[in-house]
Amino acid sequence: MKGHFNVAHQPGSTLGHLLHDAGGRLLRWYELHRQRDELARLSDATLHDLGLSRADIQQEADRHFWEDPLRK
């Protein structure tokens, strides 16, 4: 189409998207690691209030940082 600008064919744009996606993934992995570490430090009383057991938390904390429950 005349005057149509397709960014999918721009090499810089593709590289930019890849870097952006990789950066987002790294941030998500860091956040998962941080949250799991924080969960592992909760007291037994707090876990009881949340309806969770130490075993539940240990199972979650033992997961690899790349295991994201939101990504199927």
Mean pLDDT throughout 40-51? 94
The whole-number pLDDT of residue 48 equals 94
pLDDT at 30 over 90: yes
Q: Has residue 11 got a pLDDT over 70?
A: no
Residue owning tokens 């993934």: 25
Higher pLDDT, 3 or 43: 43
Nearest-angstrom CA–CA distance, 28 and 44: 27
User: Given this model, what pLDDT does residue 34 score?
Assistant: 94
The first and second tokens of residue 4, run together, are 């149509």
Cβ atoms within 10 A of the Cβ of 11, count? 7
Q: What is the pLDDT of residue 70?
A: 85
